[in-house]
Amino acid sequence: MTTLALRHQQFEALHKRGCFVIPNPWDIGSARVMAALGAQALATTSAGYAFTLGRPDMGHVTREEALIHAGTIVAATTVPVSADFENGFADDPDGVAETVRLAGEVGLSGCSIEDTMMIDGSPAYPFQQAVDRVAAAADAARSLGRPFVFCARADGVMNGAYDVDEAIRRIRAFEAAGADLLYVPLPPTMESLVQIVKSVSKPVNALAAGRFARYSKSDFEAAGVRRISVGSAIARATQQVLVDATTAMLDDGDFSPLTKAASGKAIDFMLQAGRDAG
Q: Within 10 Å of residue 9's Cβ, how many Cβ atoms?
A: 15
- State the pTM of this model: 0.95
**Is a pLDDT exceeding 70 seen at residue 60?**
yes
Q: 29-47 pLDDT, tens per residue?
A: 999 999 999 999 999 999 9
Q: 174-184 pLDDT, tens per residue?
A: 999 999 999 99
Query: Helix H segments across 37-126?
Result: 46-52, 63-76, 93-105
**Sheet containing 20-22: which strands, arranged edge to edge?**
20-22, 227-229, 204-207, 181-183, 149-153, 110-113, 81-84, 42-43
Q: How many CA atoms lie within 13 A of 117 on its CB side?
A: 12
pLDDT the model gives residue 1: 62
Instruction: Report the range out of 36-40, 59-63, 120-124 with the highest average pLDDT.
Output: 36-40
State how far the Cα of 60 lies from the Cα of 25, in Å rounded to an integer.
18
* Burial class of residue 191 (count of CB atoms within 10 Å of its CB; 0-12, 13-18, 19+): exposed
Q: Nearest 5°: phi and psi at 39?
A: -60, 130
- Could you give the domains of the chain? 3-276 (3.20.20.60)
Q: What angle do CA 224, 34, 209 make, to 5 degrees?
A: 45
